[in-house]
Chain A
């Protein structure tokens, strides 16, 4: 025989279950647009049945429904893929940005780039060769020389400004990383608390933690492992960032580049002095964009440096072999007067770029123009421009070992070609990576996303369930009412 009021319990449980399910539907809809939210569903189980005694022995009556858990729909495999590919995307985007800025420094092809300035200098030397006694042509040569120096030094300065940019962005990123790892460690503790006992699921907390890991994975390459208590242990390049409820802070240390004198910042764990060797992520993109000798600012500064060295050594050689109109030879066109640049080496903080200038003897307004060595022999007249032709050849077509056995024109076009190819390639890679990330996002969304139509349907389902249960409750109520109030009142 079943208990009198047992039925009410069954229906009562039903009402609660439907109500909680409806609330969960509400929660899903409310969070449909929340970043990183995974839809939650209520898992209903039947409660243990009760034995009743009947004509043939025992029969099992059901006792209602219970909520076993509320779980989130999440595919951890897709998450791991997302974290891996995010790092590559972060790297690609940062490199694309810095290479784009380097392209902006060189401004080719245009009428204002370094190539045009070099061409104009060559033209002025050629004009000098046909009319070397004219003050006007000599002034033009001097002026164009100054322009060459300005163009090269300006480009060098812009590249160094880019380094400053990168350094400050690096500091901001490190702050961001510290903040994120701190939050993750806090969430780790909360989640462990909630999930002790092994039966509960800290759904929203986990969603929040996964979103933070998404952000972190874009910045640095990470390896995430979840331990038995539910904490995420996150490592990057061998350095642990988050272990249980503690996080490792990172900071930047500053050194100076020996050649160019600009500040270099590197990322270290607080308490250590060893720079972390990242392998992917935005931080690595920033570091490579600055330090790489092939594709970074450093590499392109080095090439400008070589061009300056060429001008100070090889170009000056031809100028020194020629005579000015005062029949004196051995003068530099570029650089300081009297310095022999074949034996000079830059000291700390000096570079060929910083040393580049037009010889002050030549820029002297009083007699500078006569010092331009346009003739090859002192016996030639004022109008001899033979050395000017040689200077022009050295500038344009002579093949020199310092430029890797190429002429200055070839060297510079190679520089631009390499820059173009690197930039184009990183754009292509980044686009591909973005497409991959889009695909992974879709997979994730497919599992964990909220579909309004689905929720609406569920809403109707649970509403009807609730209504039906309430109806049954009313029926039972009337039955009990009959039992309690109307039984045993015969004849009253």
Chain B
């Protein structure tokens, strides 16, 4: 094929441009360590990247939910333990009051102690986490237990608070994290009413009351305490389920992050090597072109 000067320059410039194009792409990748910057760079990787990002968002949210659930249930658990200790103290006091060796005044003093403990129970029942009441069901912004005189009203409801940790619909059997007032204290706050009844008997302090206390009082206290312990166990098992789930979610998080990185992160050593190679190619092309393009017959005629 006949070669002219223009052929040489045209091809020289084309080759240079191709070389610079490769360098430009490498530079773009090295500047942020990512392989893909636009869908056309690698469509399959981009779609995978979108999917991984979505999975990561889901996973992060569920981890957050699990953490919120854990702190809610831990607070609940703490409160339940407090209830349990108070029930034990009340029982001790009632045993003391009903052993038959106390005067009426002594029994009435014990009544005041019990009254104080009932108030403590109500305070613990109104525990908040953040600004949400943990025993109020779904009415978590209104104080669940209020006492006027000897009437204790429950202002919450019986619904469950769900913190889902997997896709799908809410199912309170699996993802509820709270105990409502009824779960803790029985229907119509029976446990609280029993405590009030015990306090009233103590306040009146007669022998008949003391007998009542030693028979009915103590047995209701036992039943009520077991109920509180049962509710606490419920929360405990839900808590361990959430702990397991959170561990799984954490492990998944690591996997997804790794997948995301291996999909779109740049292999930096390879890219730098490619860049250096390309630079050499570019330099060689420039040198070769410079030498050839300058010569012509005119240089040798005189």
Residues of B within 8 A of A422 (CB): 40
Stretch at the interface among B76-84, B158-166, B212-220: B158-166
Whether the Cβ atoms of A441 and B68 lie closer than 8 Å is: no
Whether the Cβ atoms of A416 and B301 lie closer than 8 Å is: no
Whether the Cβ atoms of A385 and B43 lie closer than 8 Å is: no
Residues of B within 8 A of A109 (CB): 36, 46, 49-50, 53, 264
Q: Mark A440-467, 1 if CB is under 8 A from B, else 0.
A: 0111011101111100110010000000
Cα separation A445 to B1 with both chains bound (whole Å): 10
Whether the Cβ atoms of B137 and A381 lie closer than 8 Å is: yes
Say yes or no: is A106 at the interface (Cβ < 8 Å to chain B): yes
Say yes or no: is A126 at the interface (Cβ < 8 Å to chain B): yes
Cα separation A32 to B167 with both chains bound (whole Å): 72
Whether the Cβ atoms of A420 and B42 lie closer than 8 Å is: yes
Q: Which of B40, B50, B161, B298 contacts A115 (CB 8 A)?
A: B50
Residues of A within 8 A of B47 (CB): 413, 416-417, 420
Residue of A nearest to B131 (CB): A134
Whether the Cβ atoms of B50 and A452 lie closer than 8 Å is: no
Cα separation A22 to B42 with both chains bound (whole Å): 58
Task: Output the least CB separation between A81 and chain B (Å).
Answer: 16
- Which residues of B are interface residues toward A (Cβ below 8 A)? 1-7, 10-11, 14, 36, 38-44, 46-47, 49-51, 53-54, 57-58, 60-61, 64-65, 68-69, 131-132, 136-141, 156-157, 159, 161-164, 167-170, 264, 296-298, 301
Q: Which of A381, A447, A450, A453 contacts B139 (CB 8 A)?
A: A381
Say yes or no: is A396 at the interface (Cβ < 8 Å to chain B): yes
Whether the Cβ atoms of A452 and B296 lie closer than 8 Å is: yes
Say yes or no: is A427 at the interface (Cβ < 8 Å to chain B): yes
Q: Which of A388-416 contact B (CB under 8 A)?
A: 389-390, 393, 396-397, 409, 412-413, 416
Whether the Cβ atoms of B2 and A424 lie closer than 8 Å is: no
Task: Output the least CB separation between A402 and chain B (Å).
Answer: 20
Residue of B nearest to A397 (CB): B167
Q: Which of B5, B50, B137 contacts A108 (CB 8 A)?
A: B50
Cα separation A130 to B220 with both chains bound (whole Å): 36
Say yes or no: is A438 at the interface (Cβ < 8 Å to chain B): yes
Q: Which of A94-131 contact B (CB under 8 A)?
A: 99-100, 103-104, 106, 108-109, 115-116, 119, 122-123, 126-127, 129-131
Q: Which of B2, B68, B132 contacts A451 (CB 8 A)?
A: B2
Whether the Cβ atoms of A131 and B132 lie closer than 8 Å is: yes
Interface residues on A, range: 35 or more
23 contacts between A and B (CB under 8 A): A32-B6, A103-B38, A119-B53, A122-B61, A123-B61, A126-B164, A127-B61, A134-B131, A134-B132, A380-B157, A381-B137, A381-B138, A383-B161, A386-B162, A386-B170, A396-B54, A420-B42, A423-B39, A427-B40, A441-B10, A445-B6, A452-B298, A453-B296
Residues of B within 8 A of A424 (CB): 39-43
Whether the Cβ atoms of A451 and B3 lie closer than 8 Å is: yes
Cα separation A99 to B131 with both chains bound (whole Å): 51
Task: Output the least CB separation between A420 and chain B (Å).
Answer: 3
Known: A133-B141, A382-B138. A416 touches B167 (CB 8 A): no
Between A32, A109, A127, A413, the greatest number of chain B beta carbons within 10 A of the residue's beta carbon is seen for: A109
Cα separation A447 to B3 with both chains bound (whole Å): 9
Whether the Cβ atoms of A456 and B298 lie closer than 8 Å is: yes
Residues of B within 8 A of A375 (CB): 138
Task: Output the least CB separation between B41 and chain A (Å).
Answer: 8
Whether the Cβ atoms of B170 and A447 lie closer than 8 Å is: no
Say yes or no: is A384 at the interface (Cβ < 8 Å to chain B): yes
Q: Which of A126, A380, A382, A456 contacts B61 (CB 8 A)?
A: A126
Residues of B within 8 A of A457 (CB): 297
Q: Which of B40, B170, B301 contacts A460 (CB 8 A)?
A: B301
Cα separation A420 to B36 with both chains bound (whole Å): 11
Residues of A within 8 A of B297 (CB): 452-453, 456-457
Whether the Cβ atoms of A416 and B46 lie closer than 8 Å is: yes
Whether the Cβ atoms of B39 and A417 lie closer than 8 Å is: yes
Residue of A nearest to B54 (CB): A409
Residues of B within 8 A of A423 (CB): 38-40
Whether the Cβ atoms of B4 and A446 lie closer than 8 Å is: yes
Known contacts A389-B169, A417-B47, A456-B297; 18 further A-B pairs (Cβ under 8 A): A32-B6, A109-B50, A126-B61, A129-B164, A130-B69, A133-B139, A382-B139, A385-B162, A393-B168, A416-B43, A417-B39, A420-B43, A423-B38, A423-B40, A424-B39, A447-B2, A452-B297, A453-B297
Say yes or no: is A421 at the interface (Cβ < 8 Å to chain B): yes
Whether the Cβ atoms of B138 and A380 lie closer than 8 Å is: yes
Whether the Cβ atoms of A133 and B39 lie closer than 8 Å is: no
Q: Which of A389, A420, A456 contacts B40 (CB 8 A)?
A: A420
Say yes or no: is A419 at the interface (Cβ < 8 Å to chain B): yes
Whether the Cβ atoms of B6 and A33 lie closer than 8 Å is: yes
Known: A420-B42, A446-B1. A115 touches B53 (CB 8 A): yes
Residues of B within 8 A of A99 (CB): 40
Whether the Cβ atoms of A442 and B2 lie closer than 8 Å is: no
Cα separation A452 to B54 with both chains bound (whole Å): 63
Whether the Cβ atoms of B140 and A382 lie closer than 8 Å is: yes
Whether the Cβ atoms of A32 and B296 lie closer than 8 Å is: no
Cα separation A125 to B46 with both chains bound (whole Å): 26
Residues of B within 8 A of A416 (CB): 39, 43, 46-47, 50
Cα separation A446 to B3 with both chains bound (whole Å): 6
Task: Output the least CB separation between A296 and chain B (Å).
Answer: 16
Residue of B nearest to A116 (CB): B53
Residues of A within 8 A of B1 (CB): 442-443, 446
Whether the Cβ atoms of B10 and A381 lie closer than 8 Å is: no
Task: Output the least CB separation between B107 and chain A (Å).
Answer: 42
Q: Which of B10, B43, B68, B161 contacts A442 (CB 8 A)?
A: B10
Q: Which of A119, A129, A390 contacts B162 (CB 8 A)?
A: A129
Cα separation A109 to B168 with both chains bound (whole Å): 27
Cα separation A130 to B36 with both chains bound (whole Å): 36
Residues of A within 8 A of B61 (CB): 122-123, 126-127
Task: Output the least CB separation between B169 and chain A (Å).
Answer: 6
Whether the Cβ atoms of B68 and A106 lie closer than 8 Å is: no
Task: Output the least CB separation between A456 and chain B (Å).
Answer: 4
Residues of A within 8 A of B139 (CB): 133, 381-383
Task: Output the least CB separation between B136 and chain A (Å).
Answer: 8
Whether the Cβ atoms of B5 and A452 lie closer than 8 Å is: yes
Cα separation A453 to B298 with both chains bound (whole Å): 7
